[in-house]
Chain A
């Protein structure tokens, strides 16, 4: 029975996630998601020419993207959706359609460098494929198709989270369903997954990698897993270099596999061969595409890192001090990286993690953030309590537990180290959604919290948690819709 139910459950969960992300893709106006114009420019260039943007090309946007952003006043209203609105007039749409009908809009005059062109092409291949499928349709249709490609990857992400939880708690199927649904209805996850953004790719790759490593730890290494693990890691890096955060996680996972002796030499050979082949392919392709062999972590990090840095790369101690100050007040010997009254943990992990929509210009009312902050504290406390109550299970699964904790720490550490700033007046660059490569871990924490009230109440607690997350997601969709269109 459970053999039959498990595949059906994962399909239902993925379908639910897809519907939710597709809804987001129809709610948010085109280009009103973070950096969406440059991500779209990358995907269209890849779709039309077969190669990523190049530093020696001129303009970043082709005519089609440029005309649509112009007619939608994308850059006129940028970061001011709270003070103005996108065009509502049918006359504005007619003007756009007349311009398109006039013809002469080139698809090949873009492809210049943008903040997105540092990323590898793996994520963009998906929206580019969607673009190619609707190649002769109007650009507004192709935009929608590209957003749906993101929604599809988000559905896969949620499916991998389901799979991981299923591996961790096979005797309690509701754990996997609840954890995956909590992830699927996280409002910022849905929002970003309904747009064209490389974060969607790295989130998917990271969820897949965690799933594969946990599965290998639980069941032993097979040749399929041995091929899939390096593929997920390398393709993830070529989706967005945030994936480098998982290098220590992979090393730990492989070390744990070696220690457990649940492998064959052939599996390790397959793993090495896969990694070698993929790296060799990229080593050949990258120079042809004028792309750096090792992708940079992100478009604006260099700027952020240098903001007020006073010249010279900061040392490891400065980065550690910065990371400390993101979460806690500075210690007496630390350089103050944030201005007095600035609380980065609030800005990044409450506001931007839960309700910083658009270009951070559509934010939940303050009271919602207060409720969410309290809820996060309660869930954290319950998760600790739940972990204590289920300590025997954790002791049985020490490597899996350490791998999950390590994933979260590595993602947080990598993100904050990449964006570290040393000028207190400089703006905070980190977004809460940058933690989503560790979304699996957050889902595990959420379901662990359900055990905090005792095993008898765990299932009901999970039902309540999922219901609340759905309600929050629904409110977020209504709120964003009303912010742009009423």
Chain B
């Protein structure tokens, strides 16, 4: 080692530095959790990977075997048109049919269709019709199973990318408990929603242990 440069900063200074980083982290992460808004209640897990055949006036595209999550009050498809294009959707669920209108946007995929929510998960079929040709409908080619099988009139057409929304959007912070329930599915048997709170505590404990070690080893 080269010549010493004088007395090193104390562990106390290190502790103050950790505190400062912690405050900045809490402010930034807290701001992000509060200012980020989420509206998903679920999806059919189909990627908007490929375009399905265009929908022309006089025909209809039906999506079968959907399961509307409880409290979902909108359905989002991945539609796109050269100019904003009104699209009519008929949703048959819970013994009644709702008619709703959304727009295929220009420039980016989207299309949100408001619906009346149900108190529980409800099987549904949704059919869309248009008055002008809808050129871009995103989803996956025919094949596979699961929600979102699309039928152009009565012919299989592929699978549409469908998302279920709850509007207005909630803060990310308020969505975390539901996120833990979602994350606990398809896991090892012991994993439940509370496991994620435990993980957060363990990671925090690991941080504290690591920082204590670095501070102690510097003494």
Instruction: Please report A residues at the B interface, Cβ cutoff 8 Å.
Output: 5, 9, 12-13, 15-16, 19-20, 23, 26-27, 29-30, 68, 70-73, 76-80, 83-93, 96, 137-138, 140-141, 143-145, 171, 173-174, 176-178, 181, 184-185, 389-393, 454-460, 462-464, 466-468, 470-471, 474-475, 477-478, 481-482, 484-486
Contact = CB atoms under 8 A, between A and B. Distances in A.
A482 B38 contact: yes
B47 A171 contact: no
19 contacts: A12-B209, A15-B206, A16-B209, A19-B202, A26-B191, A27-B199, A84-B47, A137-B189, A458-B8, A460-B14, A463-B14, A463-B214, A467-B17, A467-B21, A471-B24, A474-B203, A475-B25, A475-B28, A486-B172
Contacts of B175: 482, 486
A85 B179 contact: no
Given A456-B6, A463-B17, A88 B182 contact: yes
B116 interface: no
A245 to B, nearest CB: 30
A468 B207 CA distance: 11
Contacts of A484: 182-183
Given A174-B217, A462-B214, 20 more contacts: A27-B199, A84-B43, A91-B67, A140-B186, A140-B189, A392-B1, A455-B8, A458-B8, A460-B14, A462-B218, A463-B14, A468-B21, A471-B22, A471-B25, A471-B29, A474-B29, A475-B32, A484-B182, A485-B183, A486-B38
B210 A83 contact: no
B133 interface: no
Nearest to A70: B145
B213 A13 contact: yes
Given A478-B29, A482-B179, A484-B183, A171 B1 contact: yes
B188 interface: yes
Interface string B188-213: 11010001100100110111011101
> On chain B, which size bracket covers the interface?
35 or more
Nearest to B45: A73
Contacts of B46: 73, 76-77, 84
Main secondary structure of the interface of A (DSSP, over half): helix
A90 B42 CA distance: 11
A438 to B, nearest CB: 22
B21 A457 contact: no
- 10 A-B pairs closest in CB distance: A80-B47, A73-B45, A144-B188, A485-B179, A467-B21, A174-B217, A173-B217, A174-B218, A459-B218, A463-B14
B5 A177 contact: no
Contacts of A30: 186-187
A140 B183 CA distance: 13
Contacts of A13: 210, 213
A463 B212 CA distance: 9
A475 B2 CA distance: 38
Nearest to B185: A93
Contacts of B69: 88-89
Interface in B135-154: 140, 144-146
Given A90-B185, A455-B5, A486-B40, A84 B218 contact: no
